Amino acid sequence: MVGRHPREVSRVGWETTQNKALGIQTHKMSNQSVPYDLVPFDSLFELLTRGKEKSKQLGGEVLVSITSPLAGKIGPIQFFKAGRQTDTSANYWALPTKGSWIVGIGEAAKIITEGRLRFKQTATLLQAICRSAIIEGNGGLGPIFLGGFRFSSDTPWDATWKEFRDGLLTLPKWMISCTPNDRRSLTINLVLNGASDIVSLRKQLVAQSQILFNQDSTTAHSTSSPSARVESAADGWEENVRRVLVAIRDRKLSKVTLARALRLRAETAVSPEAVLESLTANYPECRIFAFCRGGTSFVGASPEELVSVDGTVVTSTCLAGSAPRGDSQATDTEFSSWLLSNEKERREHKVVVDWISERMSPLCTNLHWNDAPYVLRLGNVQHLATRFEGNRLNESHVLDFVEALHPTPAVGGMPLAPALEMIQKLENFDRGWYTGPVGWVDGNGNGEFAIAIRCALLRGREAVLYAGDGIVAGSDPKTEDHETTMKFKPLLTALGAL
């Protein structure tokens, strides 16, 4: 069922796209042979026939998915770039320090959900797709859905985020992945019905593979970083902080995580690949992501794991409380010591720890976390951090944890309802997916989601950067201004504005 714009109608749906035009330019590829050593075409075509027959028997659509080892050392950013030559839908997810990544190109299916029940609806629709699937292959992750969710489905929507929805997860047609042990895999996903034209699908897949695995396109370096400049920055930030502090003083709430947006314009069209390269080089301990829809890309480097589910193990890491990095080891250690001993920062951090522990407990057993926060050092900032780990209950789905945890006080505030009301009142922009959950999920309820921070929305020559900070009693407007400036730095650097 095809979903419409979230403000036009309240409905959910998943739609298949395997029979739509792939947008491949028809041209002769001289001396270019079909990469049979990389793509398991023979097994795939047999699987397509089986899938079509099963769809006839069931009277509905059937997902077919095949995974095989990926030979060679195709780089994730290079494959991502090659994929964007063939399709406007592309997804990128990587944790460089662990050597793991997922790159998805095209859409076999997508799940669109709207409103406050978007997490439950997404899990239900995803399980329905996978229930009748034919999944074969050797190792790998199997069929994976990638995407994200808006920070709030209740806040006003604007056209800046027109390519993104309250909830949008995409099952890529082509996906390559790598696990921490450097095991690389290729997964191909298609959704078939009784009328699917297998011959046409064969031709489309062969043509697209010639572009995706063309040595020139997968080894070429991406374009250089753009040279961007700030176009608008006046947003009344310090005045907004003061208004929050008045509300805190009047005991209307205890914390509001206030955000701001920064608009940049580059001399030429901004390449998401160049941004990904910069973020990977400078922030390898973060989850590097890109979600491309139409001509818009949402990219970032999030240091904050919302939740990960791997088999029975569930983990979450909360970050709250910030300090700058020092320009020497001595000053760096001095900032760390200040962060660990500062009463305001520790109080802000404890609010988030209490929130996460309370909401994870009903969904898992053996939940434990470090008694005192530790300092997580990133390239340009350091945070107080607490890591949680437990065992999920049998029926717990990664999206159950996402729904229970989002939004944490780290990105919303406390109490939540009045904090969200103040955010909507003071912020003069739509957060969209900023501070929302982004990541991936499989058919077994495993997955990984981060909070979308340290990020930007790219469209043509324009970029919108987002950053925020938690305002509590004792916050100082000028200090909070400095902290958001620090948080803009990863994307400002990647965009050549620093």
pLDDT in tens, the chain (498 residues): 333 232 222 223 444 443 333 333 333 333 344 455 678 888 889 999 999 999 999 999 999 999 999 877 789 999 999 999 888 899 999 999 999 999 999 999 999 999 999 999 999 999 999 999 999 987 778 899 999 999 999 888 888 899 999 999 999 999 999 999 889 999 999 999 999 999 999 899 998 998 898 756 555 444 556 676 776 655 788 899 999 999 999 998 999 999 999 999 998 999 999 999 999 999 999 999 999 999 999 999 999 999 999 999 999 999 988 899 999 999 999 999 999 999 989 988 998 999 999 999 999 999 999 999 999 998 888 999 999 999 999 889 999 999 999 999 999 999 999 999 999 999 989 999 999 999 999 999 999 999 999 999 999 999 999 999 999 888 998 888 888 988 999 999 999 887
Q: What is the pLDDT of residue 483?
A: 87
CA distances 284 to 75, 126, 203, 274, 278, Å, are 15, 31, 39, 15, 10
CA distance 325 to 323: 7
Up-side HSE of residue 334: CA atoms within 13 Å toward CB? 6
Kindly name the residue from 277, 304, 348, 403 that is annotated as catalytic.
304
- According to CATH, the superfamily of the domain at 228-494 is Anthranilate synthase (3.60.120.10)
pTM: 0.91
Q: What is the pLDDT of residue 332?
A: 93
pLDDT digits (tens, 9 = 90+) for 299-330: 999 999 999 999 999 999 999 888 999 999 99
CA distance 36 to 47: 16
* C-beta separation of 65 from 185 below 8 A: no
Q: What is the pLDDT of residue 439?
A: 98
Kindly name the residue from 54, 173, 255, 487 that is annotated as catalytic.
255
Between strands 255-266 and 462-472, the pairing is antiparallel
Residues 6+ apart with CB under 8 A from 419: 253, 255, 256, 257, 409, 412, 413
Catalytic-residue membership of 304? yes
Q: What is the pLDDT of residue 158?
A: 86
Catalytic-residue membership of 255? yes
Q: Where are the domains of the chain?
A: 13-219, 228-494
Token pair in block for residue 117: 């029940």
Token pair in block for residue 120: 């439950």
pLDDT digits (tens, 9 = 90+) for 406-415: 999 999 999 9
* C-beta separation of 405 from 307 below 8 A: yes
Token pair in block for residue 341: 């001993």
Q: What is the pLDDT of residue 24?
A: 30
Q: What is the pLDDT of residue 234?
A: 54
Q: What is the pLDDT of residue 18?
A: 37
